[in-house]
């Protein structure tokens, strides 16, 4: 079978690329390991539509996020939850950024930042500044439904779930992707949009040396909780250091709770993810879905909740509902300034092999110039 | 023991590491064993105060080995704070305590486990019986300079609670909040804790090992300066000294006045009155200057209280478990 483009990975980046190219009339094949789209990092993260507040030490990341924020909110308004107070605060201790620096940063990035009384949200002495900001959350499931509907109505897009890729190789002016069972698909353009599996896909390319991304892997837990009355219309993020965030999770009515120290459970520093919990189909060469795994780690709820309660006023209540797990690749070069650049790498042209690695939903537009 | 119900309270342990690699295994064997037996959830925060030996490697090795043969860490969180450079016990432990999230926080100033494991539980039980800070103090021999310091300190301190040679202590969250809301620069934890106005207690024990207990964690100069600072911060001894000095000079001034008055009426006139006038002036000024010295010292303390915002500098925080 021949296509114009083969897209590997049905997360937001893959689906966005598929729809974008389908609209141009190209014939597209999307290959996905799981049985449905949006099963991993697109769904399992803080669901933040980043305005840039998160990166007070990387102005470039912040400015870019802010630029894309507006476009994303306009285009995907149907899945955006915006009617809540998003509070950012700087911890009095252990923070890499203090109140003044955060204010100065927001001014430089041109993003909203109104000072609020710290005592309205936090216990005495815990934070030195609290700010009302403008930041929203998206609902991954609504976004998924939109893409499934849009793509299934187009005859030039084919979705293949439960795809087990065996190898990728060059054949003439095209790449061929071979699945377990022997099915082969060819296209002059392959997009590797598999996030945590990026290096694993690169490794399947035969005949040419594909440099793996310099990343480490963290198995992360996002906790869903039911907010109490006061916390309901509020999101709280304490930064920039070993702190936490509790904010609405899309339109689900739940809040997501995460913390810098407790959200990552296990880390692998190797180029290909290798963890002691891997067995069966899940191995160095192929990550299975951590959220559906029977061997997923025990929840760190006790730790995260306690950390949040150490900071937040006692009348901001929340209770445990569920845990979601997903694998998160982190570019090692971004550790110092805590930036989250979108990496798009063209490994070959004619035929094209392009890999994308991005930790943020609203920088998906970066892809366009490569498609 | 096994039948006993585990405490559901969340406990943090802050552990000071400075070139103490050799004690890591025995210390954690004892403490972790105790914690696993008694507490459902706990975290360990190690503060590495710029160790130059293999402490960090040994620590990582210890917990990684544990992960393989049946989970020595018992699934608990182990964090390691790296201090930017050597900053001494006090600053390092302040950093560790600020990071702790537990309802109760153990502070292990020294990782030589010369006490029975049961003592770790005993201080906890004591705390629950109605105290906010409970210390474990070694009864053994201590250096005479330290003894003099504690003696003199306790005599002159404003607080009703005494301080002594402490190996570890446990604090309630309430005590930590109190100390934080006092907004104080904490140069010397023991003294601040004792001054926070909550109920405190000390359990004494006989040192079991008695080897190398009192190795200096801070160098000599730093300890001396800490001792002097503590007197200024937490006792009124300098205040009293200045009072005595000004009192003495007052008396002296009075004496000179009496002498001058006497010499006016006496037959023998002193040589043009130079001696008494100059003597009075110079001694009077001496007194003023010595008082000024003390005032200056007070001012410097106030300055550090107000302006020393960044109390410690950490290099980074690292997760050790798994």
pLDDT in tens, A265-283: 988 999 999 999 999 999 9
> Over 70: is that where the pLDDT of B29 sits?
yes
Q: Report pLDDT for A32.
A: 96
Which among B101, B179, B182 is the top mutation candidate for probing chain A, defined by the most A β-carbons within 10 Å of its own β-carbon? Answer: B101
Q: How far apart are CA B103 and CA B170, in angstroms?
A: 10
Q: Which residue of B lies nearest to A297 if distances are taken between CA atoms?
A: B75
More confident residue, B138 or B303: B138
Q: Give A40's contacts (C-beta < 8 A, 6+ positions apart).
A: A11, A34, A195, A196, A289, A290, A291, A326, A327
Q: Please, which pLDDT band fits residue B158 given cuts at 50, 70 and 90?
A: low
> Over 80: is that where the pLDDT of A324 sits?
yes
Highest mean predicted confidence (pLDDT) among A150-164, B52-66, B90-104, B181-195: A150-164
A157-185 pLDDT tens trace? 999 999 999 999 999 899 999 999 899 99
Residues B62-76, mean pLDDT to the nearest whole number: 58
Cβ-count burial B21-30 (b if 16+ within 10 Å, e if not): bebbeebbeb
- From the list B170, B244, B236, the residue with the least C-alpha distance to B203 is B170
Q: Please, which pLDDT band fits residue A314 given cuts at 50, 70 and 90?
A: very high
Q: Please, which pLDDT band fits residue A65 given cuts at 50, 70 and 90?
A: confident
Q: Which residue of A lies nearest to B83 if distances are taken between CA atoms?
A: A94
> Over 60: is that where the pLDDT of B35 sits?
yes
What is the domain partition of chain B in residue ranges? 9-235+312-319, 237-307
Q: Report pLDDT for A124.
A: 85
CB contact (8 A) between residue B79 and residue A261: yes
Q: Report pLDDT for B318.
A: 77
Q: How far apart are CA A42 and CA A46, in angstroms?
A: 9
A83-118 pLDDT tens trace? 999 999 999 888 888 899 999 999 988 899 999 999
Q: For residue B187, how many C-alpha atoms fall within 13 Å in the half-sphere facing its CB?
A: 18
Average pLDDT, chain A: 92
Q: How far apart are CA A66 and CA A107, in angstroms?
A: 12
Strand partners, A323: A223
Q: Report pLDDT for A196.
A: 95
Residues B134-151, mean pLDDT to the nearest whole number: 82
Q: Residues of B with CB below 8 A from A124's CB?
A: 177, 180-181
Mention the CATH class of domain B9-235+312-319: alpha beta
Q: How far apart are CA B276 and CA A184, in angstroms?
A: 114
Say if CB B12 and CB B42 are below 8 A apart.
Answer: yes
Residues B241-254, mean pLDDT to the nearest whole number: 76
Q: How far apart are CA B84 and CA B92, in angstroms?
A: 10
> Over 70: is that where the pLDDT of B210 sits?
no
Q: Please, which pLDDT band fits residue B15 given cuts at 50, 70 and 90?
A: very high
SS3 content of chain A, % helix, strand, coil (to 5): 25, 35, 40
pTM of the model: 0.81
Q: How far apart are CA A59 and CA B241, in angstroms?
A: 56
Residues B144-156, mean pLDDT to the nearest whole number: 82
Residues 103-162 of B with CB under 8 A from A: 103
Residues A30-46, mean pLDDT to the nearest whole number: 95
Residues B251-271, mean pLDDT to the nearest whole number: 73
Q: How many residues does chain B have?
A: 322
Q: Please, which pLDDT band fits residue B154 given cuts at 50, 70 and 90?
A: confident
Which ipTM did the prediction report? 0.74
Other Cβ atoms within 10 Å of B312 Cβ, number: 22
Full DSSP string of B183-241? T---S-HHHHHHHSSS-EEEEEE--SS-SSTT--SS-HHHHHHHHHHHHHHHB-HHHHH
Chain A to chain B, count of Cβ pairs less than 8 Å apart?
44
Residue A93 has its nearest CB partner, among B98, B103, B177, at B98
- From the list B78, B309, B48, B102, the residue with the least C-alpha distance to A93 is B309
What 3-state class would DSSP assign to B139?
coil
Is the four-CA dihedral B225, B227, B231, B234 of positive or negative sign? positive
> Over 90: is that where the pLDDT of B69 sits?
no
Q: Report pLDDT for B39.
A: 87
Q: How far apart are CA B105 and CA B13, in angstroms?
A: 6
More confident residue, B145 or A206: A206
Give the DSSP H or E segment for A100: helix A99-109
Residues B280-295, mean pLDDT to the nearest whole number: 76
Kindly state the tokens that stand for B199: 């109920």
């Amino acid at each position: 079978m021949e296509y114009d483009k083969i897209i590997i990975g049905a997360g937001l980046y893959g689906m966005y690329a598929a729809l974008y190219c389908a609209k141009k009339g190209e014939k597209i094949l999307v290959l996905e390991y799981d049985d449905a789209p949006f099963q991993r990092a697109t769904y399992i993260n803080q669901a933040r539509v980043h305005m840039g507040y998160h990166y007070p030490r990387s102005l470039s990341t912040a400015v870019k996020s802010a630029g894309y924020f507006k476009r994303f909110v306009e285009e995907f308004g149907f899945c955006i939850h915006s009617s809540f107070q998003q509070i950012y605060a700087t911890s009095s201790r252990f923070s890499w950024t203090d109140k003044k620096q955060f204010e100065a940063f927001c001014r430089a990035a041109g993003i909203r930042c109104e000072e609020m009384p710290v005592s309205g949200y936090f216990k005495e002495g815990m934070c030195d500044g609290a700010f009302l900001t403008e930041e929203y959350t998206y609902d991954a499931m609504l976004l998924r439904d939109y893409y499934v509907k849009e793509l299934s109505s187009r005859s030039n897009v084919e979705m293949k779930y439960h795809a087990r890729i065996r190898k990728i190789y060059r054949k003439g002016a095209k790449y061929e992707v071979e699945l377990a069972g022997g099915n082969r698909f060819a296209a002059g353009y392959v997009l590797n949009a598999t996030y945590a599996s990026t290096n694993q896909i690169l490794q399947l390319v035969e005949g040419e040396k594909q440099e793996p991304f310099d990343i480490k892997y963290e198995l992360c837990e996002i906790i869903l909780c039911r907010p109490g009355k006061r916390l309901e219309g509020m999101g709280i993020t304490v930064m920039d250091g070993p702190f936490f965030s509790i904010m609405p999770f899309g339109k689900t009515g739940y809040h997501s709770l995460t913390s810098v120290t407790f959200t990552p459970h296990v880390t692998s520093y190797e180029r290909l993810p290798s963890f002691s919990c891997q067995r069966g189909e899940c191995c160095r060469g192929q990550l299975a879905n951590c959220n559906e795994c029977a061997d997923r780690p025990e929840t760190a709820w006790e730790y995260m909740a306690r950390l949040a309660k150490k900071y937040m006023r006692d009348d901001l209540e929340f209770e445990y509902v569920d845990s979601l797990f997903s694998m998160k690749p982190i570019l090692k070069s971004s550790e110092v300034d805590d930036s989250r650049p979108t990496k798009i790498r063209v490994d070959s042209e004619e035929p094209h092999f392009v890999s994308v690695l991005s930790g943020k939903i609203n920088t998906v537009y970066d892809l366009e110039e490569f498609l | 023991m096994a039948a006993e119900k585990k405490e559901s309270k969340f406990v943090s342990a802050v552990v000071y590491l400075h070139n103490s690699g050799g004690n890591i295994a025995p210390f954690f064997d004892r403490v972790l064993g105790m914690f696993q037996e008694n507490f459902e959830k706990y975290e360990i925060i190690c503060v590495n105060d710029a160790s130059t030996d293999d402490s960090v490697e040994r620590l990582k090795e210890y917990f990684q080995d544990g992960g393989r043969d049946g989970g020595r860490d018992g699934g608990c969180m182990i964090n390691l704070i790296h201090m930017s450079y050597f900053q001494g016990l006090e600053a390092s432990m302040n950093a560790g305590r600020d990071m702790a999230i537990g309802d109760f926080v153990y502070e292990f100033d020294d990782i030589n486990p010369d006490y029975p494991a049961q003592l770790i539980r005993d201080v906890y039980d004591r705390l629950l019986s109605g105290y906010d800070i409970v210390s474990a103090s070694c009864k053994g021999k201590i250096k005479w300079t330290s003894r003099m310091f504690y003696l003199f300190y306790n005599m002159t301190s404003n607080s009703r609670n005494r301080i002594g040679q402490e190996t570890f202590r446990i604090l309630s969250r309430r005590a930590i909040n109190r100390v934080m809301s006092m907004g104080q620069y904490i140069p010397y934890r023991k003294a601040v804790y004792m001054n926070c106005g909550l109920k405190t207690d000390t359990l004494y024990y006989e040192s079991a090992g008695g080897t190398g207990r009192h190795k200096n964690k801070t160098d000599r100069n730093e300890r001396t300066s800490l001792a002097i600072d503590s007197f200024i911060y937490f006792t009124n001894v300098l205040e009293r000294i200045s009072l005595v000095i000004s009192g003495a000079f007052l008396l002296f001034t009075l004496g000179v006045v009496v002498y001058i008055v006497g010499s006016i009426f006496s037959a023998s006139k002193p040589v043009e009155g130079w001696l008494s006038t100059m003597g009075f002036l110079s001694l009077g000024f001496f007194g003023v200057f010595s008082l000024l010295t003390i005032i200056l010292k007070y001012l410097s303390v106030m300055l550090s209280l107000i302006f020393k915002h960044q109390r410690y500098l950490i290099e980074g925080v690292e997760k050790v478990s798994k």
